[in-house]
């Protein structure tokens, strides 16, 4: 999947920068299914509709950590092996990304969450779970918790997208809203807007569930040629994202929002120790709670 940042107006850039993970470029899978399955811990899970979800699990123990990437795929290579020393940890690819089946059209967060649940069932990957979501992957993490409230016992959100993100950004950046994205980028932007509304849940509450929200501290640059009046709205957009992160942390009485110094949007690449440390904290907290 291509990197659209340079061609987007500022409102779309803010939305995408806080929703997309590491672009996967023009990646084409060259391995056969047999070769994928031979790779350590990899499975191709058959899901309803005939597609296959690639899921790679490492380590042993409980709870099981589920790593969900940002849109376009994000790398967990600096995180997953370290967490595997402590417990079972699984990373998966959405349909149309990584080693999963190709698709003809983009899917909403509701649909991709259903795919995740189907893949876990097909591979007999059992809970309890800790949901870890980067960027757009926060949507699947939140919906997964909504739909499997007893099974998801902890959560780490890595520079997450926020519920109703596109409309919230539009309200604080009205000049940016008037700039239309290029036609080629519009399908993803429309899907992002739809998914951000689908994940809204005013009744969402996590009680005392361990929850850490990591926030990046280095803002993405505006594309060349962006009007100064639009650039001037960028700080307000980032402030709105930070408010959203604080709200997500507030879903739990044990929730914490933690800014990560010297980190861009892909915190798991820029400052992997921060992500590893947060997951370790949540693992420890869930295990302590389980023995009480």
Q: Which CATH number fits domain 5-291: 3.40.50.1820, 1.10.3720.10, 3.40.50.150, 3.30.70.20?
A: 3.40.50.1820
* Residue spans per domain, the chain: 5-291
Q: Are 65 and 129 a contacting pair, CB within 8 Å?
A: yes
pLDDT > 90? residue 24: no
Q: What is the pLDDT of residues 278-292, one digit of tens each?
A: 999 999 999 987 776
For the chain, percent of residues with pLDDT exceeding 70 = 82
Q: What is the pLDDT of residues 189-209, one digit of tens each?
A: 888 889 999 999 999 999 999
Mean pLDDT of the chain: 85
Question: Which residue, chain included where needed, has tokens 């594309």?
Answer: 223
- When mean pLDDT is compared over 100-104, 149-153, 166-170, 231-235, the highest value belongs to 149-153
Model confidence band, residue 3 (pLDDT cutoffs 50, 70, 90): very low
pTM: 0.88
| Higher-confidence position of 3 and 276 | 276
Please spell the DSSP secondary structure of 162-180, one letter per residue. Answer: -TTHHHHHHHH-HHHHTSP
pLDDT > 90? residue 27: no
Cα–Cα distance measured from residue 113 to residue 57, given in angstroms and rounded to the nearest whole number: 18
Rounded average pLDDT over 148-156? 96
């Amino acid at each position: 999947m291509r990197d659209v940042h340079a061609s987007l107006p500022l409102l779309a850039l803010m939305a995408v920068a806080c929703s997309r993970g590491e672009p996967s470029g023009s990646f084409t899978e060259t391995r056969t299914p047999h070769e994928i399955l031979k790779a350590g811990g990899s499975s191709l899970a058959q899901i309803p509709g005939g597609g296959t979800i690639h899921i790679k699990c490492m380590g042993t123990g409980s709870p099981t950590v589920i790593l969900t990437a940002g849109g376009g795929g994000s790398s967990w290579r600096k995180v997953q092996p370290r967490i595997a020393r402590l417990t079972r940890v699984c990373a998966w690819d959405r349909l149309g990304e990584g080693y999963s089946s190709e698709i003809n059209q983009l899917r909403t967060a509701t649909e991709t969450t259903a795919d995740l649940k189907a893949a876990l069932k097909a591979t007999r990957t059992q809970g309890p779970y800790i949901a870890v979501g980067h960027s757009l992957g926060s949507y699947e993490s939140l919906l997964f918790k909504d739909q499997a409230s007893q099974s998801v016992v902890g959560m780490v959100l890595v520079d997450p997208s926020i519920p109703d993100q596109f409309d919230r950004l539009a309200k604080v950046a009205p000049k940016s809203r008037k700039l239309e994205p290029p036609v080629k980028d519009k399908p993803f932007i429309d899907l992002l807007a739809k998914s951000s509304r689908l994940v809204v849940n005013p009744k969402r509450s996590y009680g005392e569930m361990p929850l850490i929200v990591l926030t990046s501290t280095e803002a993405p640059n505006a594309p060349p040629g962006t009007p100064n009046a639009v650039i001037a709205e960028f700080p307000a957009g980032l402030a709105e994202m930070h408010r959203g992160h604080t709200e997500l942390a507030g879903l739990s009485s044990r929730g914490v929002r933690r800014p990560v110094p010297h980190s861009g949007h892909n915190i798991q690449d820029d400052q992997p120790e921060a992500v590893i440390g947060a997951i370790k904290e949540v693992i420890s907290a869930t295990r302590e709670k389980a023995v009480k």
